[in-house]
Amino acid sequence: MKFKLYPERKIRHLLSMPFIYGMILPALVLDLTLEVYHTICFPLYGIAYVKRKNYIRIDRQKLEYLTFMEKLNCMYCGYVNGLFAYAVQVAAETEKYWCSIKHKSDASFKAPTHHESFLEYGDKKAYQEITAEKE
């Protein structure tokens, strides 16, 4: 809660609120479309469902020592950050199914952990071996 260290920034914090809370609409659209995709496509692909309860956690509003606004902020962050983590996992499962080739190595790129088992970038032979098995 670093914001409490800067009481002189209260006006700045208040001015930023519409931008922070305005992101709830795109988040809800993402949530809805992600669920439609997840519910329809994963069974078609034979991919196991990703459990959203493992990612979205809204519980800090139960802490009695928080103010109303702090509780509201905690609920918002628990939902949005959890939603994004859930969306990343759904995307990761999709990528494992459809691609499984690592990106080109670059010191500035942080590869996701699910890429560890992917084929090396540019390894044509390994790609041909895997795809030839199924054809």
- Residue whose C-alpha is closest to residue 45's, from 95, 115, 104, 116: 95
**Environment class of residue 86 by beta-carbon count within 10 Å: exposed (0-12), middle (13-18) or buried (19+)?**
buried
Considering the domain architecture, whether residues 81 and 109 belong to the same structural domain is answered as no
Considering the domain architecture, whether residues 81 and 55 belong to the same structural domain is answered as yes
Q: Average pLDDT over the chain, rounded to whole?
A: 92
Residues 99-133 pLDDT 10s? 989 999 888 999 899 999 899 999 999 999 888 86
Residues 26-55 pLDDT 10s? 999 999 999 999 999 999 999 999 999 999
Q: Which domain holds residue 106?
A: 101-135
Q: Is the pLDDT of residue 134 over 70?
A: no
Cα 18 from Cα 78, distance rounded (Å): 18
Q: How far is CA 52 from the centre of its chain?
A: 11
Considering the domain architecture, whether residues 76 and 130 belong to the same structural domain is answered as no
Considering the domain architecture, whether residues 78 and 119 belong to the same structural domain is answered as no
Task: Give the number of domains in the chain.
Answer: 2
Cα 132 from Cα 135, distance rounded (Å): 5
Considering the domain architecture, whether residues 87 and 105 belong to the same structural domain is answered as no
Distances (CA, A) of 112 to 3, 21, 53, 62, 92: 31, 28, 21, 33, 8
Considering the domain architecture, whether residues 41 and 28 belong to the same structural domain is answered as yes
- Residue whose C-alpha is closest to residue 72's, from 58, 85, 52, 86: 58
Considering the domain architecture, whether residues 39 and 105 belong to the same structural domain is answered as no
Residue 130 falls in which region: left (phi positive, over 0), alpha (psi -120 to 50) or beta: alpha
pTM: 0.86
Cα 50 from Cα 86, distance rounded (Å): 8
Considering the domain architecture, whether residues 57 and 118 belong to the same structural domain is answered as no
Considering the domain architecture, whether residues 93 and 119 belong to the same structural domain is answered as no
